[in-house]
Amino acid sequence: MPRFVHIDISADNPERAAAFYRQAFGWTVTRLEGPMPYWLVAVDAADPNAMGAGIGQRTESWQSTAPTIDVADADQAAAAIVAAGGSIVIPKTPIPGVGQLVTFKDTEGNVMAVLESAPASDLQAGQGGAQSAT
């Protein structure tokens, strides 16, 4: 059964947002290196199964806070979303070391995403680029 696995937080100033969440809630925030800077937020470092979040640069007016749902197949999920009356905002996009992401709107205009996770070996390889945010 698909479940929520991640919350994406868009920010005009991601470094400022990272500092806010670190200070306000004591969360661990780690900057990932890559073509688009992104900060991972660990809400409970002691629980590897705790749902986490990420902070990225806001580049579109519709971007706000978007929950991510884990699915077995991104293409099948996208087809089901459209069949149920939703729409695709960003087609399937590979996220190196993470998986395939499809961003969509539900029938009420809420923006969310579905994620087909990369195989475990790809996830482990993708974690090597993390460094602590300062």
Rounded percentage of the chain residues whose pLDDT exceeds 90: 46
Average pLDDT value for residue range 10-20: 91
**What pLDDT is attached to residue 55?**
93
Residue 126: band (very low, low, confident or very high) from pLDDT cuts 50, 70, 90: very low
What token pair was written down for 58?
């806001």
pTM score, whole prediction: 0.70
What token pair was written down for 124?
């482990």
- Please give the order of strands across the beta sheet that includes 65-71: 87-95, 99-105, 111-117, 65-71, 3-11, 52-57, 38-42, 28-32, 130-132
Mean pLDDT computed over every residue of the chain = 85
Average pLDDT value for residue range 64-91: 93
Q: Which residues pair with 66 in a beta bridge?
A: 8
Superfamily of 3-132 according to CATH: 2,3-Dihydroxybiphenyl 1,2-Dioxygenase, domain 1 (3.10.180.10)
Per-residue pLDDT tens digits for 18-66: 998 889 878 899 998 878 889 999 888 788 778 889 999 999 888 888 8
- The beta-carbon contacts of 61-66 under 8 Å, at least 24 apart in sequence, are 62/89, 62/111, 63/10, 63/111, 64/10, 64/111, 65/7, 65/8, 65/9, 65/10, 66/7, 66/8, 66/10, 66/103, 66/111, 66/112, 66/113
Going from N- to C-terminal start, the domains of the chain cover 3-132
